[in-house]
Amino acid sequence: MSDFVLDVQNVSKKFRRGEMYDSLRDLVPGIARRLLRRRPAPDLNRREFWALRDVSFCLRRGEAFGIVGGNGAGKSTMLKLLTGIMRPTAGRLRVVGRLSALIEVSAGFHPDLTGRENIYLNGAILGMTREEIRRRFDDIVAFSGLEEFLDTPVKRYSSGMFARLGFSVAAHVDPDVLLVDEVLSVGDHLFQQKCIDRMNAVIHSGATVVFVSHNLQALSTLCPRSLLLERGRVQMIGPTGEVIRTYLRRGQQERAVDGDRTIGLTNVITHDASRPRNQFESGDKLYITVEAQARARHEDMSVVIQIVDDNQYPLFDTCTQRLGAPPITLEPGQTLRCTFVLDLSLAQGSFHVNAFLHRYVTNKPFDSWRAAATFFVSGAEEVRGVVTLHPQLVTCDVQSGVAVPPEVRPAP
Amino acid sequence: MFQAMSETFARRELLYILAWREIKVRYKQSVMGLLWAVLMPLVIVCSGLIVRYGFAQVSGTPLALTDFTSVAVKAAPWAFFVAALRFGTNSLVANTTLVTKIYLPRLAFPVAAVVAQLLDFLVAAALIAVVLGFARTGLSVHMLWLPFLIGVLIVMATAFAIIFSAASLFLRDVKYLVELFLTFAIFFTPVFYDSALFGRWASLLLINPVSPLLEAISTTVIQHRGPALGWVGYSVVFTGLLSVGALALFAKLEPLFAESV
């Protein structure tokens, strides 16, 4: 028991929809209504809902733990309970040591104060002592890259500068437990890389990290274990890869051919030769299986698959027609199932599969499904970018006395 | 309740820095800067002097120098009390982003608001000390009461600030009630006059727990006499009960802050 730094036991949190009594004007009719009715107003209970229900998990020292879930799943409420901003309606929650949160990192800033003054203010708000801040001041400034603007009031900062300064202060609090909520979207990609490096350093220093993000790639590299929340309940706790797979499948299962549609794509999965997978090594074989169902006769069809990056930029596409398959015809009630296999010459990152059901000749789409499946690629350490072109070093010699031809000599 | 207190004490640097922020922000982008701290009590003293002059004209008694010094010596604590309550009441509502987004001992906000007002009070007090020196008020052993009396006043202001700041997070009406109360309180507090002016009704005025403290400050500093112990005792007991009540209330309401703003 004692080696758990963070212990959450059957925690529930109830919220209320709509407005509360906020002034006397609302209070008086509210009380009158209550007095007139014998029983407490029944709509009171209808207005309440559980933002979290019976959530339990324990974290050991030095563990990095992810929380995954869609919007409204209760992730932010969980973090607010962990920080102590809110108290749970029921259940028990224990944190050992200093907890620090990379959430709303700029909330403590005062717009009229300068960057320098705000570093001291925000540091104190986040729980650092003045001595600690003084000691780390130069690191904080260097991390933020805002040396020139230290004596400018932060109200004159751009929103990016504002957020960077906030993150820089928060990142230099030495916590025992660190909570991170979607702050990696701050700044340009160089700053984001700095943030991820900093988080890795915090994890390696032995702190416990709880990481909430929609950036599944970052989540899967940082956290070995994760929790999947859905509508306030724990769906699963386990290895991050499995949790992400479950999470992604949940969003995608709810597709069926119904209503006016008489044909449609029903399932798109990535897998290896034997079973479903969404984590691959660069150079693996990637299998994509697409299923479609028809409720009426459709003919002259082809299936198109497209690989896109996080910004839906197309990297690759192919289709049954181009691969030599004849036009597909489906009778009512028939299911189409086709499997592609690709050589995964991608560099590390997260990628999505778009699937389309096209008319064979005119390219009129019967159905399209964007981001139908998501997969991650790791490995290929030697390359950066989107694809790997399988580089090999042929020569790398140092030679002396070789005259550089005049036409390639740089202009003085 | 004790947990909240000890937590606030453990993070007392936060308290200093919040008070420092309050002071710093107040005088940023203002030409007069810290001169405002002098000007505010000066205005109260001057208006008190005018009122006092009016009294003297109507009643036909000459205006003594002690009338002036007694108004001065009461005006500064009163100005502090009013400002402390005003800023204290708003301290949580003004910081809702911090209250709802970051965890920190929230007790620090009203306390820091009161502490921030102490600087203005110190400046005004120094000024008054100089004035008293010129007026040849002199020193006496009774002046030793002064730190105690002012201490009680500070604690009382803090307790009120704690109650009102928490309450105004739930009901915005509190802010307006406090403003209303502070606007008219000057009539029910012996700042510009002495309670003795009211003869046998004087005790009615002294029920206002601030009154005995201000009167006592005036008696000890200006008249070099001991304070009315009974009434000062009443203020002290009132302050003690108020403080306990304030901390208990704050501890009870604090878990609801983030949801009820």
| pLDDT tens-digit readout, B86-124 | 999 999 999 888 888 888 889 999 999 999 999 889 988
Chain B residues close to A99, C-beta within 8 Å: 103
> Distance (Å) from the C-alpha of residue A339 to the closest C-alpha of chain B?
48
Q: At A365, which CATH number?
A: 2.70.50.60
Q: Are residues A119 and A142 in the same domain?
A: yes
Return the pLDDT at A44. Answer: 45
Per-residue pLDDT of A11-38, as tens digits, reads 998 887 766 555 556 666 666 665 565 5
**Chain B residue closest in CA terms to A181:** B101
A317/A319 Cα distance (integer angstroms): 7
Per-residue pLDDT of B16-57, as tens digits, reads 999 999 888 888 878 877 787 778 778 877 888 888 888 888
Smallest Cβ distance to B255: which of A23, A87, A107? A87
Domain annotation covers residue A28: yes
Smallest Cβ distance to A112: which of B11, B25, B173? B25
Helices (H), A126-239: 130-144, 159-171, 189-204, 216-222
B126 CB contacts (<8 Å, ≥6 apart)? none
**Structure tokens given for A407:** 């036409």
The model's confidence at residue A151, banded by pLDDT at 50, 70 and 90, is: very high
Per-residue pLDDT of B171-216, as tens digits, reads 888 999 999 999 898 888 888 888 777 777 888 888 889 999 999 9
Domain annotation covers residue A401: no
Q: Is the pLDDT of residue A120 over 90?
A: yes
Q: Are residues A145 and A276 in the same domain?
A: no
Burial class (CB in 10 A: 0-12, 13-18, 19+), A225: middle
Domain annotation covers residue A392: no
Strand A349-359 with A263-271, pairing: unpaired
Instruction: From A155, A153, A147, A158, select the one nearest A168 (Cα to Cα).
Output: A147
Domain of residue B199: give its range. 2-260
A55/A75 Cα distance (integer angstroms): 11
Return the pLDDT at B151. Answer: 95
Q: Are residues A11 and A138 in the same domain?
A: yes
Helices (H), A37-114: 43-47, 75-83
Q: Are residues A273 and A208 in the same domain?
A: no
Q: Are residues A212 and A270 in the same domain?
A: no
Instruction: From A146, A213, A214, A138, select the one nearest A172 (Cα to Cα).
Output: A138
Q: At A206, which CATH number?
A: 3.40.50.300
The model's confidence at residue A108, banded by pLDDT at 50, 70 and 90, is: confident
Return the pLDDT at A402. Answer: 63
Mean per-residue pLDDT of chain A: 83
Q: What is the DSSP code (8-state) at residue A328?
A: E
A82/A52 Cα distance (integer angstroms): 13
Q: Do the Cβ atoms of A119 and A151 come closer than 8 Å?
A: no
Q: Are residues A144 and A16 in the same domain?
A: yes
Return the pLDDT at A285. Answer: 93
Q: Do the Cβ atoms of A282 and A388 come closer than 8 Å?
A: yes
Smallest Cβ distance to A125: which of B28, B29, B102? B102
The model's confidence at residue A340, banded by pLDDT at 50, 70 and 90, is: very high
Q: Are residues A215 and A287 in the same domain?
A: no
Domain annotation covers residue A384: no
Domain annotation covers residue A114: yes
Cα–Cα distances in Å, from A403 out to A408, A409, B207, B261? 11, 10, 102, 76
Domain of residue A89: give its range. 4-245
Give which of B22, B103, B173, B254 to mutate to test A binding, by max A Cβ within 10 Å. Answer: B103
Q: What is the mean pLDDT of residues B72-97?
A: 91
Q: Do A124 and B17 touch (CB under 8 A)?
A: yes
Q: Do B97 and A107 touch (CB under 8 A)?
A: yes
pTM for the whole structure: 0.76
Return the pLDDT at A42. Answer: 40
Smallest Cβ distance to B14: which of A20, A87, A124? A124
Per-residue pLDDT of A276-293, as tens digits, reads 888 899 889 999 999 998
Return the pLDDT at A408. Answer: 60
Domain annotation covers residue A308: yes
Return the pLDDT at B233. Answer: 94
Q: Do B172 and A22 touch (CB under 8 A)?
A: yes
Q: Are residues A36 and A174 in the same domain?
A: yes
B125/B84 Cα distance (integer angstroms): 16
Per-residue pLDDT of A212-266, as tens digits, reads 887 777 787 788 899 999 888 998 999 887 888 778 766 555 566 666 778 888 8
Q: Are residues A317 and A237 in the same domain?
A: no
Q: Do B171 and A23 touch (CB under 8 A)?
A: yes
What is the enclosing helix (H) or strand (E) of A243? helix A240-253
Q: Are residues A166 and A266 in the same domain?
A: no
Return the pLDDT at A304. Answer: 92
Could you list the beta-strand ranges (E) of A150-297: 177-181, 208-212, 225-230, 233-239, 263-271, 279-281, 285-294
> Count of domains in chain A?
2
Mean per-residue pLDDT of chain B: 87
Q: Are residues A270 and A370 in the same domain?
A: yes
Return the pLDDT at B168. Answer: 92
Q: Are residues A201 and A323 in the same domain?
A: no
B27/B35 Cα distance (integer angstroms): 9
> Count of domains in chain B?
1
Chain B residues close to A153, C-beta within 8 Å: 28
Domain annotation covers residue A97: yes
Instruction: From B244, B92, B221, select the one nearest B155 (Cα to Cα).
Output: B244
B219/B197 Cα distance (integer angstroms): 14
Q: What is the mean pLDDT of residues A343-349?
A: 89
Q: What is the DSSP code (8-state) at residue B72?
A: H
Domain annotation covers residue A391: no
Return the pLDDT at A135. Answer: 93
